Amino acid sequence: MSDESTREEGGAQPEEQSENPTPDETAIRWQSDVKFIAKLVAVTYVGFAILGLVTGVSTNEIAGFLATVTFYAAVFALLALALNLHWGYTGLFNIGVVGFMAIGVYTFAILTASPEASPAGLGLPMVVGVIGGTLAAALAGAVIALPALRVRADYFAIITLGFSEIVRLSITSGSLRQVEVNDRVYGTGGGSGIRYDPVDGVVTWLLELPGFEQGGEALYQVAALVNVTSSVVDRFLYAVILMIFIVLFYLLLTRIARSPFGRVLKAIREDEIAARSLGKRTQVTKIKVFMVGTALMGLGGILWLGSRSLVSPDGLMPVITFYIFVALIIGGSGSNTGSVVGAFVFAAFLWEGPRFIRTIARTNLDYRPTGTIYDAFVELAALDPMPLIGYLIGSLDELRWILLGTVLVVLMIKRPKGLLGERKEIAAATDLSHRPRGETDE
Amino acid sequence: MSESQQPTGHNDDSVQTAESGDAVLQIADLEKRFGGIVAVDGATFSVERGSITGLIGPNGAGKSTTFNLITGTHKPDAGSVTFNGEDITGRPPEQIANRGLVRTFQIARELPEMTVLENMMLGPKNQLGETLWRSVMPGARSAVIEQEKELRERAWETLEFFEIDHLAEEYAGSLSGGQRKLLELARALLTDPDMLLLDEPMAGVNPSLEKKLLERIHDLQEEGYTFLLVEHDMDVIMNHCDHVIVMHQGRVLTEGVPEEVKSDEEVIEAYLGGEA
């Protein structure tokens, strides 16, 4: 009773001050997270750069490689963050991520493609396309959520997977390939896809703005000093824009996580019946969170796939969803920082890393590609290792999946909760450990 | 305690049907079948407002199923459940809980990978921050934070009462069975219920704490809460309940004040002998 009266009489002021440690603590945690990620990225890049320089790879190739790593790390981080909201927080086993990416990027393509192109688009500005694609993915999320969230978890997973395949197959279907409206042929373009101005064109647009013009020029010149081409610089700049999106995703998701809403999400993950018995409207909450997640997946899809000038169903295979899960699992599902770290580790060491080895091998070794591993071993018996090396390097794209599988197995045994999964990220808008009367018997 | 005004407030608002007297909860002809098994077979009873009512019966008598039917975990095949004069038959659990009828489970349903405090903070109903936009929008969030601070205070007070405050920052999954029971009851109290349905609340709780828990239940009773509890400990039932309902084979065998029930031939038979 007495507490209530103090609160009403402007008692909030002193209370606010006594709680100063709370925001500080989050700030410290946030800073240490940023530092950790920065260190990890710096060490990795310096490591690759030194490795490249020592083995005589050209600076432009090294820079190009690092730009690619940064790009993939960023897009995987965006999607892993979105998936973390579904799977890490709410326990929704969404294995149809690529379907929502597809909805996002195809909507973007149809909205922004030139009306003269074939298939034609609406020729709207890029911003409209990005927003439209994101909203379309959210809408698709709502449509899927209504039936899917009524069934048990494992059936839910199957429905989402089915959805992503339905999307991909619908895109290739003949009836949607070409749709004639008012003498113009719209549609998905089937297997050949839709052409449009890629979303990374925003870099060129930015560099033409009055304030940025000189900065961009200077950047190109500095890069030219170390023999790095302007196109590589552009790719780095696009990665920087992606990083801004990562920060926005991260802030949004951290806010959701540190709130009563996030607490209900966690409760749904842990025991939905218990949550409902406490009066939580879990069904509505699940639909909302599913839509937020699919919107972010749609946006992630636009920023990733939309940065090519062509979107086609080939890039929308269900395995993409699997990669995003791997990135999330490496980092530790349930942790937003973990999602980012996992995405980086995945992109740098599993996705792009092996390709760097091939670059090094190409510059340094004179190997012949070999037909089969059998031939390679036959030659090895004759003390010629080159065919085997040639075979391994030639099959690097396939061998990556063996590496990926091995890493997953080792991770599941050694650190089943991922690199950062052990952390307690408390779902509350304030520091719960603050005791009312300040007594501690610990 | 701040929740002390709440139950009486609810009581004033509540609609009471003329024939029910002062029954807060009425169950009529409740039936539930699982395949060929009739778990609850026409159970009829009512719980008086402000009472501690015990629900006893041998294993398989249908006590837990009755709980599940009342609180919406299962839908009854027939019969009706009326709470505060309102028909709540077959409503989903969250609606029933939000009307002030909150339960605990026989095997505690703590949320294992959430801390004890997070579990507690989940209790209070109608939290501002449970709406997505309020949690995210910069302007609206300050109200959420204010409410969180108030709720946190209540969460700590309740934890202290149940003597599990030293575990506040542990994961609920690392608690012992008895501690989980306490956590579940404490969490249920934070919802500001009118009536609590406790499924074996004393199971696994140590004797000194059990004594305290019973005192607490009596305190809450005086504040206007109603309790319906399933319990196997006859001492608890006989010494602490105002009214006892005995179930057997899905039906109400008999009911009355503890002394009557204790000496009832049929009850003795159901528990000690008989073909069941």
Task: Point out the least confidently predicted range of A11-15, A406-410, B77-81, B231-235.
Answer: A11-15
Report CA dihedral (A184, A188, A191, A195) to the nearest 10 degrees.
Answer: 70
Whether A165 maps to a domain, the answer reads yes
Within 141-170 of A, beta carbons closer than 8 Å to B belong to none
Q: Does B111 touch chain A (CB under 8 A)?
A: yes
Q: Which of A340, A317, A311 is nearest to A327 (CA)?
A: A340
Residues comprising chain B, all counted: 276
Mean pLDDT on A153-162: 91
Mean pLDDT on B61-78: 92
Contact by Cβ (8 Å): A77, A243: no
Residues 6+ apart with CB under 8 A from B27: B43, B44, B45, B46, B66, B70, B79, B80, B81, B82
Q: Does B135 touch chain A (CB under 8 A)?
A: yes
Q: Does B144 touch chain A (CB under 8 A)?
A: yes
State residue A20's pLDDT score. Answer: 40
Residue ranges making up the domain that contains A149: 32-364+395-414
What's the CATH code of the domain at A221?
1.10.3470
Residue B5 CA to residue B1 CA, distance in Å, equals 8
Q: What is the Rg, in whole angstroms, of the alpha carbon atoms belonging to chain B?
A: 19
Task: Return the structure tokens found at A221.
Answer: 């010149």
pLDDT, one tens digit per residue, over A397-419 is 888 888 888 988 998 888 888 88
Under the banding of pLDDT at 50, 70 and 90, the label for residue A26 is low
Handedness of CA B203, B208, B212, B215 (dihedral sign): positive
Contact by Cβ (8 Å): A310, A206: no
Q: Does B137 touch chain A (CB under 8 A)?
A: no
Residue A47 exposed, middle or buried by CB count within 10 Å (0-12, 13-18, 19+): exposed
Question: Of residues B18 and A374, which shows the higher confidence score?
Answer: A374
Q: Does B130 touch chain A (CB under 8 A)?
A: yes
Flag whether pLDDT at B8 surpasses 50.
no
Query: Which of B71, B130, B149 is nearest residue A277 as measured by Cβ atoms?
Result: B71
Within 172-231 of A, beta carbons closer than 8 Å to B belong to none
| Interior angle at CA B209, CA B206 and CA B213, nearest 5 | 125
Mean pLDDT on B259-275: 74
Please report, rounded to a whole number, the percentage of residues in chain A having pLDDT higher than 70. 91
Handedness of CA A375, A377, A382, A384 (dihedral sign): positive
Q: Which of A164, A140, A104, A100 is nearest to A317 (CA)?
A: A164
Contacts of B113 in chain A (CB under 8 A): 266, 269-270
Query: Which helix (DSSP H) or strand (DSSP E) does residue B251 occupy?
Result: strand B251-256
Whether A24 maps to a domain, the answer reads no
E strand intervals along A209-311: 310-311
Flag whether pLDDT at A284 surpasses 80.
yes
Residue B113 CA to residue B223 CA, distance in Å, equals 33
Within 249-288 of A, beta carbons closer than 8 Å to B belong to 252, 255-256, 259-264, 266-267, 269-271, 273-282, 285, 288
Flag whether pLDDT at A440 surpasses 60.
no
Residue B259 CA to residue B241 CA, distance in Å, equals 11
Query: Which of B103, B122, B145 is nearest residue A429 as measured by Cβ atoms?
Result: B145
Flag whether pLDDT at B78 surpasses 80.
yes
Spell out a b/e string for A209-239, using b for 16 or more CB atoms within 10 Å of the CB, else e: eeeeeeebeebeeebeeeebeeebbbbbbbb
Q: What is the Rg, in whole angstroms, of the alpha carbon atoms belonging to chain A?
A: 25
| Interior angle at CA A120, CA A118 and CA A121, nearest 5 | 140
Give the Å distances, CA to CA, from A408 to A77, A418, B67.
18, 10, 44
Size of interface A-B (CB pairs under 8 A): 143
Task: Point out the least confidently predicted range of A4-18, A91-105, B31-45, B72-86.
Answer: A4-18
Give the Å distances, CA to CA, from A69 to A339, A373, B135.
16, 29, 34
CA atoms within 13 A on the CB side of B276: 17
Contacts of B97 in chain A (CB under 8 A): 276-279
Counted domains in chain A: 1
What DSSP string describes B33-45? EETTEEEEEEEEE
pLDDT, one tens digit per residue, over B89-146 is 999 999 999 999 999 998 889 999 999 999 999 999 889 989 898 888 888 888 999 9
Q: Does B11 touch chain A (CB under 8 A)?
A: no
Residues comprising chain A, all counted: 442
pLDDT, one tens digit per residue, over B20-68 is 458 899 999 999 999 888 999 999 999 999 999 999 988 888 999 999 9
Question: Of residues A127 and B266, which shows the higher confidence score?
Answer: A127
State residue A212's pLDDT score. Answer: 84
State residue A433's pLDDT score. Answer: 82
Name the most confidently modeled range: A298-307, B57-66, B228-237: A298-307
CA atoms within 13 A on the CB side of B83: 25
Name the most confidently modeled range: A104-113, A167-176, A371-380, A397-406: A104-113
Taking the CA of residue A280 and the nearest CA in chain B, the distance in Å comes to: 6
Q: Which of B45, B43, B263 is nearest to B54 (CA)?
A: B45
Average pLDDT, chain B: 86
Flag whether pLDDT at B70 surpasses 70.
yes
Residue A212 CA to residue A108 CA, distance in Å, equals 27
State residue A358's pLDDT score. Answer: 85
Contacts of A273 in chain B (CB under 8 A): 73, 93, 109
Give the Å distances, CA to CA, from A374 to A198, A378, A388, A402, B147.
44, 6, 9, 18, 69
Taking the CA of residue B235 and the nearest CA in chain A, the distance in Å comes to: 29
Flag whether pLDDT at B15 surpasses 70.
no
pLDDT, one tens digit per residue, over A212-261 is 888 888 889 999 888 888 899 999 999 999 999 999 999 999 999 999 99
pTM: 0.86
Whether A129 maps to a domain, the answer reads yes
Contact A278 B187 (CB under 8 A): yes
Contact by Cβ (8 Å): A299, A104: yes
State residue A437's pLDDT score. Answer: 64
Contacts of A428 in chain B (CB under 8 A): 117-118, 121, 148, 152
Residue B273 CA to residue B214 CA, distance in Å, equals 30
Residue A176 CA to residue B138 CA, distance in Å, equals 42
Edge-to-edge strand ranges of the sheet holding B195-199: B101-103, B195-199, B226-230, B52-56, B243-248, B251-256
Contact A261 B131 (CB under 8 A): yes
Whether A380 maps to a domain, the answer reads no
Q: Residue A194 pairs with which residues in a beta bridge?
A: A311
What's the CATH code of the domain at B31?
3.40.50.300
pLDDT, one tens digit per residue, over B150-201 is 999 999 999 988 888 999 999 999 998 888 988 999 999 999 999 999 999 8
Residue A228 CA to residue B135 CA, distance in Å, equals 45
Counted domains in chain B: 1
Task: Return the structure tokens found at B1.
Answer: 């305690």
Residue A265 CA to residue A336 CA, distance in Å, equals 15
State residue A15's pLDDT score. Answer: 39
Average pLDDT, chain A: 86
Under the banding of pLDDT at 50, 70 and 90, the label for residue A12 is very low
Contacts of A435 in chain B (CB under 8 A): 156
Whether A2 maps to a domain, the answer reads no
Residue ranges making up the domain that contains B164: 2-272
Residue B140 exposed, middle or buried by CB count within 10 Å (0-12, 13-18, 19+): middle
Contact A1 B2 (CB under 8 A): yes
Contacts of B145 in chain A (CB under 8 A): 429-430
Residue A89 CA to residue A338 CA, distance in Å, equals 13
Whether A261 maps to a domain, the answer reads yes
Q: Does B85 touch chain A (CB under 8 A)?
A: no
Task: Return the structure tokens found at A108.
Answer: 């973007």
